[in-house]
Copies of this chain bind each other. A is one copy, B any other.
Amino acid sequence: MTISVLGGGQLGRMMALAAYRLGERVVLLDPNPESCGGHVAPLVVGRWQDPAPLAELSRRGDIVTFEFENVPDEAARFLADRVAVAPPPQALTTAQDRLLEKQLFTELGIPTPPYRPASSLAELRTAAAEVGLPAVVKTRRFGYDGKGQHVVRSADDVDAAWLALGAAELLIESFVPFDQEVSAIAARAHNGEVARYPLVENSHRGGILRTSRPLSATDPLAPQAAEYIDKVLGHLDYVGVLTLEFFVVGGQLLVNEMAPRVHNSGHYSIDGAETSQFENHVRAILDLPLGSTETMLHCVMLNCIGGMPSNAALCALPGTKIHAYGKRGSPGRKVGHVTVVASTAAELQARLPAVQALVDAASDG
């Protein structure tokens, strides 16, 4: 089988490496000829909007998937008329618009921070008064890693946000003083079977994920998260891996956003789980039984943002699983991650500071 992937970044790269273990082949599509996925798999260079590369992808692949939610949903629908596509294009449509996404959560009874849409400055001012300050103003479309977001603390900030975000279709939501950020990752198979990873505790800096650590499968928040992600997966008749990001406030989950794909916070699973999120995504879309999501090793994932420590430095430290994406460093760019693994929690804690120090010294922000 050949899997065609829309997107040739690191997620496509790691998806290809998982598919290879199963003996499958992969072809990637990306407008950037330097895409790091192209170092490990054939890369078709083309724009999402052009039918020619899409047709080539549908011809070369037995199934099409994506690694990037800002692929135009029209591209996914164009492909869905020609070849099997998973996850369903509707998941892209929903995830690409923060308003549709929030409305879906509301419809499914999944609590979110209070939010309002706004398409004019007047609407934004009214909405700000309704949700209360501080709040976060976000563009409805094309935001990721903190881009397209503006924190507002005063009426003046509201006007500034309107200008800063380009007077686009916006959403304003109440700023939540959260205790913790966690993500729920699950794979859903064609037959509706769901494999849920344990909740992952995340920490961000500069709007970008820095550290992820899988929690216990019996974490008290796990049943609530399972209920919520099952609702989204079922509603979308989803096939593949989906991620929900949550704020934890007073022991309750408030959903922040969804990603209809494998997720940075699940990278620990490559080295730490019985089945990685990438393999379970591949299994799901190929209609194979899903694998156990159990955590087998104590582990923490550290993102390398802007730059990466040298392999020589990382290789000298025990328990470091290096994932260098082969990308050139530049400010804010995810160039790799390192998962620190150990057989015991104490060993992990002993190993972590040295790796963290290396990663911090090489990263920006």
Interface residues of A (CB under 8 A from B): 13, 16-17, 20-25, 39-41, 274, 283, 286-292, 296-297, 308, 311-312, 315-316, 318-319, 321-326, 336, 341, 343
Contacts and interface: CB of A to CB of B under 8 A. Distances in A.
A92 B150 CA distance: 62
Q: Which 9 A-B pairs have the closest CB atoms?
A: A23-B324, A289-B315, A289-B316, A23-B326, A288-B315, A20-B40, A288-B311, A22-B311, A25-B39
A338 to B, nearest CB: 11
Contact of A341 (B274, B283, B326): B274
Interface of A is mostly: loop
Contact of A296 (B40, B336, B341): B341
A22 B324 CA distance: 5
Residue among A21, A25, A316 with most chain B CB within 10 A = A21
Copies of this chain per assembly: 2
Given A288-B312, A296-B341, A341-B296, A318 B21 contact: no
Residue among A39, A292, A312, A316 with most chain B CB within 10 A = A39
A291 B341 CA distance: 13
A225 B274 CA distance: 32
Given A311-B288, A341-B296, A343-B296, A21 B322 contact: yes
A92 B50 CA distance: 51
A289 B312 contact: yes
Nearest to A291: B315
A291 to B, nearest CB: 6
A168 to B, nearest CB: 36
13 contacts: A20-B326, A21-B323, A22-B311, A22-B324, A23-B311, A25-B39, A40-B40, A40-B41, A283-B315, A291-B315, A292-B318, A292-B319, A296-B341
Residue among A23, A336, A341 with most chain B CB within 10 A = A23
